[in-house]
Amino acid sequence: MPDVLTLNLETEPSLTHFKVRVLLVDDQLIIAEAVRRMLADQDDIEFHFITDAREAITCANSLQPTVILQDLVMPEVDGFELIRRFRAEEMLAHVPIIVLSAREDPKLKAHGFAVGANDYLVKLPDKLELLARVRHHSNAHIHRLQRDQAFRFLRESQQKLAAANVELQKLAALDPLTGISNRRRFDETLVLEWQRGQRDKTPLSLLMVDVDCFKQYNDSYGHPAGDLALKKVAAVMTENLKRPADLVTRYGGEEFAIILPETDNAGAMNVANACLRQLEKLEIENANALPYSVLTMSIGVKTIVPSKQSSWDALVAAADRALYAAKAGGRNRVVNAED
C-alpha cells in the first residue's frame, strides 16, 4: 500500500464552496513533512501527499486537488510522463501542476511546461513563495470550477425550464375533466391539418359530437354523475381512433369534436357509427331521455379536400349543421353533410 497522509479530507467539494486542496507527489518523506509544516498553519488549505507515484492518478481523481505539487525524479515512474497522464485524465486535465525539482535547469523547465506543467520550483522553496504559488494557481483553478459549475447549473435550469414549459403546454392543451384535448388544441390542430391537407391535396374529415339530453341527465343524476358520464363519452371516442394523427377534443360543455386527417368520408362515417354504437352499448341510464332511456350522442360529419376556395371554419360550420340535423332528426344518429 502507498504511504498516504491525509489531513481534513473532504471527498467532494461543496456545491457553493471550493477549498484549496494540495496534493504532493514525492517519494521522499522528508520533503512531504517539510511541505506539510509550511502549510500546517493555513486553515483554508488542505494538505495531502502520496509517496508511490504509481498511485498518483487514482489518488488525484479521488481527492480532486486544486493544485498538484510533483517531483520529477521518482522510482519506477518518469515525472514528465506522469504529468502527461494527469493531463490525459478528464477530471484532472486542468488541475494546475507545480513541478518540484532539485535542479535549476532551463531545459527541464522548458520540457516540464511543454508536457503540461503550470509552474516550476526548486525544492525546497521558501514558505512565502510556496504559499503564494499554491494560492495563485488554486484560485485560478477554483474560479474555473465555479465558472463551469455556474454554466452547468444554468444548463440544468434551462433544461428544467424547457421541460416545464413543455408540460405546461401539454396541460394548457388538455381538458381538465376528461383528460382529452381542449378547444385550444382543437383550433390549433384544425388549422395545421387544413394547411397540410391543402398542401398534400388529401381529405380532411371532421366529426361534431353532442351528448343527447345531457341537461336532463345532470338534473336527474347530479353533476358528479354528469362529469363521470362525460369521461366515459370521451373514452368511447378515444378508443375508436386508430392513428396517431387522429384527435378527439372537448369542444365545450357536452360537445366534442374529432379531427381525422387523411380520412375520406367513408372512413369518417365508420368512426362516427362505431362511437355511436359503443356508447349505446354501455347502457348508461338516462330515464328522462325518451325514447332511448340511455345516454346517447348525435354526430355530424363533414369531409373536404382543403383548398384556397374554402376555409377550415367553413368545414366546422358544415359539420355543425349536420349535427343540428341529427339532433332535429331524433338524436342518437349520424348525419353526413355529404348527403
Q: Is the pLDDT of residue 232 over 80?
A: yes
Distances (CA, A) of 157 to 13, 148, 164, 251: 21, 14, 10, 36
CB 35 within 8 A of CB 69: yes
CA dihedral sign of residues 83, 86, 88, 92: negative
Give the pLDDT score at 25: 92
Q: Which of 89, 156, 193, 254 is catalytic?
A: 254
Give the pLDDT score at 17: 66
pLDDT tens for 245-257 read: 999 999 999 999 9
Tell me how many degrees the CA angle 151-10-99 measures, rounded to the nearest 5.
80
For residue 159, tell me if it sits in a domain.
no
Give the pLDDT score at 48: 93
- Reported as a pLDDT band with limits 50, 70 and 90, residue 104 is confident
Query: Does 254 participate in catalysis according to the annotation?
Result: yes
- Residue 95 and residue 229 share a domain: no
66: CATH: 3.40.50.2300
Give the pLDDT score at 320: 96
**Mean pLDDT score across all residues of the chain:** 89
- Residue 197 and residue 97 share a domain: no
- Residue 142 and residue 189 share a domain: no
Share of the chain above pLDDT 90, in %: 63
For residue 327, tell me if it sits in a domain.
yes
> What integer is the mean pLDDT of 35-61?
91
- Residue 234 and residue 316 share a domain: yes
- Reported as a pLDDT band with limits 50, 70 and 90, residue 158 is confident
- Reported as a pLDDT band with limits 50, 70 and 90, residue 150 is confident
- Reported as a pLDDT band with limits 50, 70 and 90, residue 339 is low
Closest CA to 202 of 272, 319, 307: 307
For residue 100, tell me if it sits in a domain.
yes
What letters, b where the CB count within 10 A reaches 16 and e where it falls short, cover 42-54?
eeebbbbbbbbbe
Amino acid type, 321: R
- Residue 191 and residue 146 share a domain: no
For residue 113, tell me if it sits in a domain.
yes
> What integer is the mean pLDDT of 170-182?
85
For residue 175, tell me if it sits in a domain.
no
- Reported as a pLDDT band with limits 50, 70 and 90, residue 186 is very high
- Reported as a pLDDT band with limits 50, 70 and 90, residue 233 is very high
N-terminal to C-terminal alpha carbon distance within the chain: 91
- Residue 258 and residue 329 share a domain: yes
- Residue 122 and residue 29 share a domain: yes
pTM of the model: 0.56
What is the residue range of 305's domain?
183-336
Per the structure, how many domains does the chain have? 2
Instruction: Name the DSSP letter for residue 165.
Output: H
- Residue 283 and residue 221 share a domain: yes
